[in-house]
A and B are shown apart, each in its own frame.
Chain A
Amino acid sequence: MMARVGIERRPLRFADAALAAWIAILATVTVYGAATTEGFLTVSNMKAILTAASFVGIIAVGLTVIVLSGNLFSLALGQTAAISAMVFLYSLRWGLVAAILFTLVLGLAIGAVQGFAVGAWGANPIIVTIGAAGLMEGMAVWLSHGQSIVPPVDETSWEHLANPVLGLPAPVYVFIAVTVVLAVVMARTRFGRQIYLLGENRTAARAAALPITLLTVGAFGIASLYTAGSGILIGATSANASLLLVGSYTYDAIAAALVGGNAVTGGRGSIARTAAGAIFIATISDMLLLRGYSTGAQILVRGIIVVVVVVLTNLKERTR
């Protein structure tokens, strides 16, 4: 420590170079793929990519608040989305607005409870969310008697949530809107500022008297709220909801947040990065699909990207 006194540190640039190289590789592959994949550069395919990116993207930008707060990630997102879709379709019998509000409040509450265990007691976020995922699955089967939930026959208002508006499906607009809102919240509000500080250094945040429990509850609450919102759109789009919807939303959302280059350890990154990450992942998936690659290849590619990005962002952060 003494040695550093009076010396301004110059960060190493190797990590930057490695990151640039990686981005160049990804860009080349994407451009090459775009040019050579039949049916990729079409308007309808672009719409398909955006739609696919929306569902995951909404979850991922919400999750980003957890990542930025230094609590790694949540492994209960897919379950939260599926349950929200089920709850939404079920509660449509009370009217569209009531169904949306009820589902969102429920989502917020589910996240807030997990956030409280993590923030107030220091419980491990990963394991708490794994447990919560199990609980939610059990509860969903219990309450639904293992059946798919379909909307009430006479109710059609929900269809607007899935229909195209001006040529693009409604979820795309929702994705854009909620991303912008959250980006503004994180950049311009006290809550957002404090989340960054908490994620940067939890010990210092405690000494600086930041409201750690409240912030953590907020981070998990927002992630879960956004996931519930995505669940509503997923439910409206598929008009049929069961636990099968859990699918790969959890991993896709985490992958999007990590691929965007948000530091896993918290404090550094942005909502915009995650949104870009979600679109990137949707693009790659779409391309692989068009080229006839299977589910396996899709998952594999996502995994490799996650590992490489985690290593690279860590190197970069360390040299700062």
Chain B
Amino acid sequence: MSTGESPLRLRRPRGAELAPFAILAIMIVALALVPVVTQYTVRTANVYDIFQNFASYGLVALALGITIIAGEFDLSVSSMYLFGGMVAVLTGGSSPALGIAAALGAAILVGLVQGGLIAGFRLNSMPVTLGGYLVVLGITYILGHNKSVLYDNFDVGLRLDEPVLQIFSIRSLVSLGIFVVAALVLRYLRVGRDLRAIGGDRRAARVAGVRVDRLLIGVFVVSALGAALPGALLSYSLATASPTNIGFDVLTFSATAALIGGVSLSGGKGGAVGIAAGVLSLSVLQEILAILRSPDYVSSLITGGLLVVVTIVWAPNLSEWFRTARVVRPAEERT
């Protein structure tokens, strides 16, 4: 480091960790205000919908969030999501559990390959996972013979989505449960700390003795799992799996949720609870839009806009750019 003389970093203001929860609170208040200011009503079913949305996308946001905390990125989650559904539907005909297991097993394989390449060759994860995205998408198409595949076992989907305590379902409870486990692991296990370390300062982590490469491979395995599992569950729930490229919808949603949830794009910061708040915020927002019967494009406008805004807020040079140029300033000219 040639600039070793100014090692003080700019800090984000205190309370930044609370921002995700503040945003969630605002969304909930907005939801509560819907019946007050419009003619639409909010029912328990709407809350159920919010958690269903959480079940569908939450784990992808968690998986993506973990890769971002580790200072990487995984573009392949959106095709892995479809892939998980396809594998589960194709192999889970007799036993849904077997389908899930197959989907997860295949995901682990993909994660190992991607993580192995990235850690082994020290590659930038963006192009590698872009290639991975295409490979996985291609396989999904081939598996489905280029079309949607129906899942005959309708009961499974019905059971997964059956309301529990009115607002939950097995599917959403599974997602919530995994979030709790992830939060505990990130908070209390060594691996959570190491994850933040390799994202925060990889050199320092390596020097301190963290096994960076092993951890990186693990991150991409987790990321693949986090995309394949909700994909598989959603396919059961819809009783169909499709290879259709649904574009970056999953990716846009989960990236936005993770970044709103306090995950820093420069790595090293964020946690499962914040990501959950981010996912819930976006889910509530989408539900509000649905209650208001607003067309689909509004949601996509808002999500896209939010993603751009959050990315700019996290941009490393933003504060420097806005700071008045104090450098060797001609002081007297100002007076």
Contacts and interface: CB of A to CB of B under 8 A. Distances in A.
The reply, when asked whether chain A contacts chain B directly with Cβ atoms under 8 A, is yes
B311 A117 contact: yes
Contacts of A264: 124, 126-127
Nearest to B135: A303
Contacts of B318: 121-123
Contact of B121 (A299, A302, A314): A314
B252 to A, nearest CB: 5
A117 B315 contact: yes
Nearest to B137: A299
B131 interface: yes
A105 to B, nearest CB: 21
B133 A303 contact: yes
B300 interface: yes
B145 interface: yes
B131 A131 contact: no
Given A130-B251, A132-B308, A310-B123, A122 B300 contact: no
Nearest to A143: B297
Interface in B95-138: 117, 121-124, 126-128, 130-138
Nearest to B139: A300
A135 B132 contact: no
A84 B131 CA distance: 26
B146 interface: yes
A317 to B, nearest CB: 11
Interface stretch (B53-61, B164-172, B240-248): B240-248
A303 B110 CA distance: 13
Interface in B69-111: 73, 75
A200 interface: no
A123 B315 contact: yes
A146 B298 CA distance: 12
Nearest to A132: B308
Interface residues of B, number: 59
A141 to B, nearest CB: 4
B255 A127 contact: yes
Q: How large is the interface on A (under 10, 10 to 19, 20 to 34, 35 or more residues)?
A: 35 or more
B312 interface: yes
A303 B301 CA distance: 29
Contact of B297 (A141, A246, A307): A141
Interface string B270-309: 0000000000000000000000000111111111111110
B265 interface: yes
Given A139-B301, A141-B300, A303 B132 contact: yes
B315 A121 contact: yes
B121 A300 contact: no
Contacts of B188: none
Given A120-B321, A131-B252, A297 B138 contact: yes
A248 B131 contact: no
Contact of B127 (A294, A306, A315): A306
A131 B315 CA distance: 14
A286 B91 CA distance: 32
A117 B311 CA distance: 9
Residue from A130, A131, A134, A258 with most neighbouring chain B CB atoms (10 Å): A134
A296 interface: yes
Contacts of A294: 141-142, 145-146
Nearest to B249: A134
Contacts of A50: none
Interface in A120-177: 120-124, 126-128, 130-142, 146
A20 interface: no
B124 A75 contact: no
Contacts of B126: 72-73, 126, 264
A304 B135 contact: yes
A30 interface: no
B228 to A, nearest CB: 17
Nearest to B298: A138
B138 A299 contact: yes
A133 B128 contact: no
Given A128-B308, A294-B141, A310-B123, A248 B245 contact: yes
Given A117-B311, A126-B73, A296 B305 contact: no
A307 B126 CA distance: 11
B67 interface: no
Contacts of A265: 124
Residue from A132, A135, A264, A295 with most neighbouring chain B CB atoms (10 Å): A135
Contacts of B296: 141
B223 interface: no
Contact of A246 (B121, B124, B127, B247): B247
Given A133-B247, A142-B301, A300-B138, 7 more contacts: A72-B127, A126-B73, A133-B248, A137-B300, A138-B300, A142-B295, A310-B128
26 contacts: A75-B248, A122-B318, A123-B315, A124-B311, A124-B315, A127-B255, A131-B252, A131-B304, A133-B248, A134-B301, A134-B303, A135-B301, A137-B247, A138-B297, A138-B299, A138-B301, A140-B297, A142-B301, A264-B127, A296-B141, A296-B142, A296-B143, A296-B144, A307-B128, A310-B131, A314-B122
Interface of A: 72-73, 75, 117, 120-124, 126-128, 130-142, 146, 246, 248, 251, 254-255, 258, 264-265, 294-304, 306-307, 310-311, 314-315
- A-B pairs with lowest CB-CB distance, top 8: A134-B304, A296-B141, A300-B138, A303-B134, A138-B301, A131-B307, A303-B135, A307-B131
